[in-house]
Chains A and B, each alone.
Chain A
């Protein structure tokens, strides 16, 4: 199975900060990577797919980059509604797998 490792697991930041989350794959996955945001008690929300394509309706402060084994999710200017857990997910091969999540907390 392909393992996705996110770093950091926890991140403390302030409103307006630039935030970067990394996702590393144990094997090459081309650019078959998505990013999701999840708030407590809620379903995940798709932010980015194909590593860098912004899902319709998602604010442009979110961006994704990378390919093969290293990927990043960047929030250019953190907003109050962005405090949540972010997870990467690959669908290059079965079983699809998720990273362990990165919790973004208020500093």
Chain B
């Protein structure tokens, strides 16, 4: 079964850093774009960033651009999110997701279970 497993969440003080990881299994990781999506407590989903197959193209939501960096290691079947200068409003469950292309359209069709990031003093 295709699977994504996130790790690396935790409690961090405002201004601190955290690195999230997402381990992929049972599919050819290097063939797919990958994404990070977050959900603040009691709120809706928010797309954070995505990255293409070889890491040469990255896109970010404005609220994290310049603070967060998405990356991947295809040899390790892993996706990462380096989060710097963290703010209380970054508190959320962070999900990684696979982006699959179907002709002109894409879909986030495989999701991890999420890892919780809490930014608080």
Residues of chain A at the chain B interface (Cβ within 8 Å): 1, 31-32, 34, 36, 38, 42-46, 49-50, 53, 55, 87, 89, 91, 94-101
A–B complex contacts, Cβ < 8 Å, 22 sampled: A1-B62, A36-B108, A42-B113, A44-B45, A44-B97, A44-B108, A44-B111, A46-B107, A46-B108, A46-B109, A49-B106, A50-B102, A50-B104, A53-B105, A55-B107, A87-B44, A91-B105, A95-B59, A95-B60, A96-B50, A97-B47, A100-B44
B59 near A94 with CB under 8 A, answer yes
Q: Is the interface of A mostly helix, strand, loop or mixed?
A: loop
Q: Which secondary structure dominates chain B's binding surface? A: strand
CB neighbours of A55 from chain B (8 A): 107, 109
- Is A36 touching B45 in the complex (CB atoms < 8 A)? yes
0/1 string, B106-121, CB within 8 A of A gives 1: 1111011110000000
Q: Is the beta-carbon distance between B106 and A89 smaller than 8 angstroms?
A: no
**How far, in whole Å, are A50 and B113 apart by their CA atoms in the complex?**
24
Choice from A45, A91, A97 contacting B106 with Cβ under 8 Å: A91
Nearest CB to that of B59 among chain A residues? A94
Q: Count of A-B contacts with CB under 8 A? A: 60
